[in-house]
Structure 1
Amino acid sequence: MMQYLKNWNVVRILRLVMGIIITVQGIQAGHWLIVALGALFVVLPLLNISTCASGSCEVPRHRRPAKIKNEDPSTFENVK
Structure 2
Amino acid sequence: MLEGAKLIGAGAATIALAGAAVGIGNVFSSLIHSVARNPSLAKQLFGYAILGFATLTEAIALFALMMAFLILFVFQTIK
**Shorter chain as normaliser: what TM range?**
0.3 to 0.5
* TM-score, normalised with respect to structure 1: 0.42
Higher relative contact order (CA 8 A, sep 6+): 2
Structure number with larger C-alpha Rg: 1
* TM-score, normalised with respect to structure 2: 0.43
